[in-house]
A and B are shown apart, each in its own frame.
Chain A
Amino acid sequence: MNALTPHLSALQIILPLLAAPLCTIFRLPRVTWGIAMVVGVLCSFNAIAILEQVQSSGTIIYALGGWAAPWGIEYRIDDANAFVLVIISVINVFGILYARTSIPAELSEDRISWLYTAWLLCFTGLCGITISGDVFNVFVFLEISSLSTYVLVSFGTDKRALTAALRYLIVGTVAATFYVIGIGLLYALTGTLNMADLAQRLPEVTAHRTVLVAFGFITVGLSIKMALFPFHTWLPNAYAFAPNAVTAFLAGTATKAAIYVFMRLVLTIFPAGFFANSTIAYLIILAVGILGAFVASTIAFFRQDLKQMFAWSSIGQIGYMAIGLGLATSAGVAASFLHLFNHALMKTAVFMAIGCLFVATGSTTLNSLKNAGKRMPWTSAAILIGGLSLIGIPFTTGFVSKWYLVTAALELDMWWLAALVLAGSLVTAAYVWKFVETAYFRTDSNTTYTRSEAPLSLLIPTWILVIANIYFGINAQFTGTQALRAANAIFGFSS
């Protein structure tokens, strides 16, 4: 292992990238699942090892192929992206673990290996986005993850999955184009694509209006990628019609990587205070964050399909992360990081539980839920706890997130914002209550129901995450400190 230690960062990318074509060679569903699982587990350990290394010996700088930074591509991992990398890798393992039973229930045998190929590529892309220290390299990985995500979405059983994937493709391409225009403008100004280098050179040229335009393009491009309201239009259907395991995986990882990159770009490579003092972008982000938190949650309330409901809820939750970012203080960014972690836990757990529901009843609509509390106590309880966490009930992770966000708002004397964040919980409570009402209280006394719980192989990964939701809600020591360190790292390459 010691010989590998300097190359951990490269391994994180190479392992899944090489494993993807392996899956196309071994076309057997079990074998490809095994490959994905082994790679997923290795990558998680790898990511945790990276996090430990960053904590013990500071930022890791890895020059690919030995080419030094401004010319070659470098991976640069500090407290911020090491944390995100762990989130993505761990959620990935649970996603694959869950997929073993969930995927064969939705896909025919011959397509399963293709799904894992796309999955591994998507995972490669997300890891790459997170750890790369080069803005163009980020674009490349962004495309890898996006293209494979289109494929993943199109595997959905419903025919509408195809149109959802197509729409995502169109929107995603617009996003990538905007992003690449943005970094192109920056390159024209400074002649470099390396993040650390950009951070040094940009202060000299901030007087140029081009910087602002570049900033605008990058903001829009990444806002689409992270599904920030009102740039969210790809998300609801993509989540609703993708296979259940894929939805669970994407909900915990894809938007998270985009949010991280956005924070890194606007807060680290643009000069200190540029985001908050020289542009009104922070105001726009704050405004759409608040708007998104309310509007998307209200839309979620009117959905009759649980997957759609919680997909809209994701957009609302991303609004909360945007609020933390829009505050542009280290407390605000820490709150965003914390919510990023917590939301990955809760939303993945919820979507997994919805997948259990699908396997047990063949449907995910509210109507199919009648008496679910009795028929499927474990599945229903998992959705319930995930929902309580979304509301922010004490002893769940959501409470910790809200607490940090409210504290960050109060630090800036923004009472109204703290009040809005708390009021947002009520809207969340409304749609979660809709689920509770149907699952637990709308009983049909005429018909008798038998227990029809989902198989254990689905319930176990779901419940591990549900328990993690409660654990990190009670003991926020690890996540809290990690989020603060990540926020500090975002505000400067030092540390």
Chain B
Amino acid sequence: MIELPSFAIFFIGAVGALLLRGRILSSWTIAVPVVSGLFLVLSDPTEQAINVSVAGIELAIFQPDRLSLVFGYVFHIAAIFGGIFSWRMTNPISKASILVYAGSALGAVFCRDLISLFLFWELMAFSSAYLVICSGTSKAARAGVRYLTIQIVSGLLLLAGAVLHYAQTGSIEFTHMGLTGTAALLIFIAFGIKCAFPLLHNWLTDAYPESTPDGTVFLSAFTTKVAVYALARGFAGTESLIYIGAIMTCFPIFYAVIENDLRRVLAYSMINQIGFMVCGIGIGTELAINGATAHAFNDVIFKGLLMMSMGAVLYRTGKINGSDLGGLYKSMPKTAALCIVGAASISAFPLFSGFVSKSMVMSAALEEGYMIIWIALLFASAGVFHHAGIKIPFFAFFAHDSGIRVKEAPTSMLIAMGIAAFLCIGIGSFPQFLYGLLPYETSYTAYDTTHVLAQIQLLLFSALAFVWLKLSGIYPPELRSVNIDVEWVYRKGLLAAYNTSAYIVQTLVLYAYSLLTGLVKRSYRGITRVTGMSSRLANERTVDLMIVSIVVFFAVFLVYHLINL
């Protein structure tokens, strides 16, 4: 069998996509990941290693192992159902950039040196930025530019770290490095940006909801998961990751609750899910790494499913705000059902995929004695249920009837969502398949009494509280879902504190933002004054600047040497 690395198949596919049109193009976009996936499954990729020598540096450009293969498989799955979902999008450039994006994500997880990683990292940035921009609105264009800037900064940090690492150790191999020294720190921050660490996360919630219905599906699958993979490879067992991860699981909940744009709610919930993975990587035991990887695998699928269902709603109704939607189950019953499968998975209902992986991370936290972390994760799990599990399907498909009557989602979208939903239930019911893929051997069983009971209690009490609050009409609809989890996990009294702190944080962030924009505006004015069209420095008609420069040069040069010879 010829050795063809996955990214090469995708890149060739991208070139091909530029030449095709219409349905052939759409079929092609599905065929490429299928072919590449077959390559990966039929050959034994761990036996292959492709090294390339560029300018005297040996690049390990394709060298899969068990850890990267898990991500490789799920990226193929995402590329396939995403390809089916985007059947109706027939812009060849968008399709090509999707293939480049997926291909470079695969390249990034399969390469084993920092330089190749950087190259794929940047390729991902550019191709994904196009997906944000291609929705065509000026809001999207601005968000896309902000997104691209941050991604490039991440790439530059990675490059700086790689060069520094090379200068110090003489090696560019990408292996476990841990937080030792400046080089590792730079790389850590680079990964952190892509991984949406707290305070570095804004690009995600800013840009993802602005893309097209199909673009968001791809965006949510690749970028952050590549970062999770990179952290797992480079920084497993770094203790600070546990706390970062725990914060990531908790803080987006507050934002998700007050957010009206349902795709942005999902973007926040994405940070929350990544938090579980980051936390697992931080714990670093075999069980925890397995859990983080498994959760990344499941997250790609169920988050993809939720994004697709919201994409279908947006595609049909043109609306995505919770306040504008409602009652859609009458016109889009299949989409509603599939969305509920995704919601059940992300909320970790037993027999759905989220359950079998999330519990691994939480068990690992308990085993290692991180009690407070475990409680934080438990709180976050309940939080997921109210903002993703209930809020998304409830506001889109039920709640008050908005009077919108549309057609059911197109068949291609239903097929794509069906595949994802099938996988959600399949993995949830038969987790052994997933466990067999994981980087370490595992004998973990999700379905024991403690896990199932604890999870069912958590979910049932959430649901009970939800129903009671709804009937008693204590809170306005948007706030109801906030209280359930808070009520159940903590006591009622803390609710006010949470709301206040969320308010304070938001005010502070807004204040810092206005301060920052003011600063940017003022420095832009300053720069314009110094280097703009009418500034002296940029004057092209006179030579006085040069004459002054010559005089200054001689003054400095000769006077210095007069004193110093």
Instruction: Establish whether residues A410 and B164, one from each chain, have CB atoms under 8 Å apart when the complex forms.
Output: yes
Instruction: Establish whether residues B160 and A419, one from each chain, have CB atoms under 8 Å apart when the complex forms.
Output: yes
Residues of chain A within 8 A (CB-CB) of B141 are: 441
> Which of A220, A299, A303, A393 is the one whose CB lies under 8 Å from B537?
A299
Q: Is B533 an interface residue (CB 8 A)?
A: yes
Contacting B at CB under 8 A, from A370-406, are 393-395, 400, 406
> Which of B531, B543, B553 is the one whose CB lies under 8 Å from A284?
B553
Residues of chain A within 8 A (CB-CB) of B558 are: 212-213, 216
Instruction: Establish whether residues B553 and A422, one from each chain, have CB atoms under 8 Å apart when the complex forms.
Output: no
Can you name the residue of chain B whose Cβ is closest to the Cβ of A395?
Answer: B119
Chosen A-B contacts, 14 in total, with CB atoms closer than 8 Å, are: A167-B543, A209-B561, A212-B557, A212-B558, A220-B550, A231-B549, A240-B540, A280-B557, A284-B557, A295-B537, A298-B527, A308-B540, A312-B538, A476-B55
> Which of A163, A394, A410, A429 is the one whose CB lies under 8 Å from B167?
A410
Q: Is A101 an interface residue (CB 8 A)?
A: no
- What 1/0 flags go to A288-310 for Cβ under 8 Å of B? 00000001001101111000100
Q: Is A224 an interface residue (CB 8 A)?
A: yes
Instruction: Establish whether residues A480 and B540, one from each chain, have CB atoms under 8 Å apart when the complex forms.
Output: no
Contacting B at CB under 8 A, from A176-223, are 209, 212-213, 216, 219-220
- What 1/0 flags go to A428-439 for Cβ under 8 Å of B? 010001000000
CA distance A308 to B122 in the complex (A): 29
Residues of chain A within 8 A (CB-CB) of B528 are: 302
CA distance A230 to B547 in the complex (A): 9
CA distance A476 to B53 in the complex (A): 11
Instruction: Establish whether residues A281 and B557, one from each chain, have CB atoms under 8 Å apart when the complex forms.
Output: yes
Can you name the residue of chain B whose Cβ is closest to the Cβ of A224?
Answer: B546
Contacting A at CB under 8 A, from B83-125, are 118-119, 122
- What 1/0 flags go to A409-434 for Cβ under 8 Å of B? 01100000011001001100100010
Q: Is B449 an interface residue (CB 8 A)?
A: no
CA distance A419 to B163 in the complex (A): 11
Instruction: Establish whether residues A422 and B557, one from each chain, have CB atoms under 8 Å apart when the complex forms.
Output: no
CA distance A213 to B542 in the complex (A): 27
> Which of A281, A400, A426 is the one whose CB lies under 8 Å from B55?
A400
Report the minimum CB–CB distance from B18 to chain A (whole Å).
11
Report the minimum CB–CB distance from B447 to chain A (whole Å).
47
> Which of B54, B159, B531 is the one whose CB lies under 8 Å from A298?
B531
Instruction: Establish whether residues B543 and A170, one from each chain, have CB atoms under 8 Å apart when the complex forms.
Output: yes
Q: Is B185 an interface residue (CB 8 A)?
A: no
CA distance A367 to B542 in the complex (A): 26
- Residues of A in contact (CB 8 Å), total 53
Q: Is A171 an interface residue (CB 8 A)?
A: yes
Can you name the residue of chain A whose Cβ is closest to the Cβ of B160?
Answer: A422
Q: How large is the interface on B (under 10, 10 to 19, 20 to 34, 35 or more residues)?
A: 35 or more
Q: Is A482 an interface residue (CB 8 A)?
A: no
**A171-B543, A425-B156 known; 14 other A-B pairs, CB under 8 Å?**
A171-B546, A212-B558, A212-B561, A213-B558, A237-B540, A279-B557, A303-B533, A406-B163, A407-B163, A407-B167, A418-B163, A426-B152, A429-B152, A441-B133
Instruction: Establish whether residues B538 and A418, one from each chain, have CB atoms under 8 Å apart when the complex forms.
Output: no
Instruction: Establish whether residues A302 and B554, one from each chain, have CB atoms under 8 Å apart when the complex forms.
Output: no
Q: Is B565 an interface residue (CB 8 A)?
A: yes
The 3 A-B residue pairs with the shortest CB-CB distance, nearest first, are A230-B549, A298-B531, A299-B538
CA distance A80 to B550 in the complex (A): 29
B residues engaging A (CB < 8 A)? Answer: 54-56, 118-119, 122, 133, 141, 145, 152, 156, 159-160, 163-164, 167, 527-528, 530-533, 535, 537-538, 540-543, 545-546, 549-550, 553-554, 556-558, 560-561, 565
Q: Is A137 an interface residue (CB 8 A)?
A: no
Residues of chain B within 8 A (CB-CB) of A410 are: 163-164, 167
Residues of chain A within 8 A (CB-CB) of B565 are: 209, 212
Report the minimum CB–CB distance from A114 to chain B (whole Å).
26
Interface centre among B540, B542, B549, B565 (most CB of A within 10 A): B540
CA distance A234 to B546 in the complex (A): 9
Q: Is A456 an interface residue (CB 8 A)?
A: no
Q: Is A332 an interface residue (CB 8 A)?
A: no
Instruction: Establish whether residues A299 and B556, one from each chain, have CB atoms under 8 Å apart when the complex forms.
Output: no
Q: Is A450 an interface residue (CB 8 A)?
A: no
CA distance A216 to B556 in the complex (A): 10
Can you name the residue of chain A whose Cβ is closest to the Cβ of B564?
Answer: A280
Can you name the residue of chain A whose Cβ is closest to the Cβ of B528?
Answer: A302
Instruction: Establish whether residues B545 and A216, one from each chain, have CB atoms under 8 Å apart when the complex forms.
Output: no
CA distance A419 to B532 in the complex (A): 25
With contacts A220-B554, A279-B557, A280-B556 known, is A233 near B160, CB below 8 A? no
Can you name the residue of chain A whose Cβ is closest to the Cβ of B549?
Answer: A230
Report the minimum CB–CB distance from A398 to chain B (whole Å).
13
Residues of chain B within 8 A (CB-CB) of A474 are: 54
Q: Is A236 an interface residue (CB 8 A)?
A: yes
- What 1/0 flags go to A270-292 for Cβ under 8 Å of B? 00000000011100100000000
Instruction: Establish whether residues B540 and A233, one from each chain, have CB atoms under 8 Å apart when the complex forms.
Output: yes
Report the minimum CB–CB distance from B136 to chain A (whole Å).
9
CA distance A234 to B558 in the complex (A): 25
Residues of chain A within 8 A (CB-CB) of B533 are: 302-304
Residues of chain A within 8 A (CB-CB) of B145 are: 433
With contacts A170-B543, A171-B546, A237-B540 known, is A302 near B532, CB below 8 A? yes
CA distance A219 to B549 in the complex (A): 13
With contacts A209-B561, A298-B531, A302-B532 known, is A422 near B156, CB below 8 A? yes
Residues of chain A within 8 A (CB-CB) of B527 are: 298
Can you name the residue of chain A whose Cβ is closest to the Cβ of B552?
Answer: A230
Q: Is A56 an interface residue (CB 8 A)?
A: no
Instruction: Establish whether residues B531 and A295, one from each chain, have CB atoms under 8 Å apart when the complex forms.
Output: yes
CA distance A234 to B163 in the complex (A): 38
Instruction: Establish whether residues B119 and A237, one from each chain, have CB atoms under 8 Å apart when the complex forms.
Output: no
Instruction: Establish whether residues A422 and B532, one from each chain, have CB atoms under 8 Å apart when the complex forms.
Output: no
Residues of chain B within 8 A (CB-CB) of A426 are: 152
Residues of chain B within 8 A (CB-CB) of A448 are: none
With contacts A233-B546, A422-B156, A477-B55 known, is A280 near B560, CB below 8 A? yes
CA distance A433 to B145 in the complex (A): 10
Residues of chain A within 8 A (CB-CB) of B133 are: 441
> Which of B119, B164, B530, B545 is the one whose CB lies under 8 Å from A394?
B119
Residues of chain B within 8 A (CB-CB) of A298 are: 527, 530-531
Residues of chain A within 8 A (CB-CB) of B557 are: 212, 216, 219, 279-281, 284
